[in-house]
Structure 1
Amino acid sequence: MLRAAYSKGSRVVLVKMDDVQAPPLGTKGTVQGVDDIGTIMVHWNNGSHLGVVLGVDICHKIQD
């Protein structure tokens, strides 16, 4: 279900991430996939590749 909601190529915007290396809030990125534990793997526009852990971090799908 999560893989269908965040399919490869979907665009997201970062709302919250509790990590010292997190991209700035509001950074947009492209979903690369969802791993087996439910982490959304994102290539952020600033070059970061940190994954979004649902339940800890928050991102929203966008159209852009």
Structure 2
Amino acid sequence: MNKVDFLRKMYPVGCKVVLHHMDDPQAPPSGTVGEVIFVDDIGQIHVKWETGSSLALIPSVDSFSKV
């Protein structure tokens, strides 16, 4: 199983994640919960955040966990 397939299995559409830290000026605040929309072909996890934004997580860079 490759990395993208693994991420799609770990973070299926509809699962909830919580953000711990993202080094991006447009990032939602730490503790924000979001719902996974999809994992793209390069392994970014696209999330609809409870703040209304839809910024993607980068697993090797951002700090987050499954709820």
TM range (shorter): over 0.9
TM-score by length of 2: 0.90
Q: Which runs of 5+ in 2 are unaligned?
A: 1-5
Structure with greater Cα Rg? 2
More strand by share: 1
More helix by share: 2
Moved beyond 6 Å, runs of 4+: none
Q: Describe the superposition over 1:7-38 as per-residue Cα deviations: whole angstroms up to 9, x where unpaired.
A: 00000000110100000000000000100110
TM-score by length of 1: 0.94
Secondary structure of 1:31 counterpart: strand
Count residues in correspondence.
62
Q: Root-mean-square deviation (CA), in Å?
A: 0.5
Percent identity over the alignment is 52
Cα distance in 1, alignment partners of residues 64 and 50 from structure 2: 14
Task: List aligned pairs for 1:21-36, cutoff 5 A.
Answer: 21-36=26-41
Q: Which runs of 5+ in 1 are unaligned?
A: none
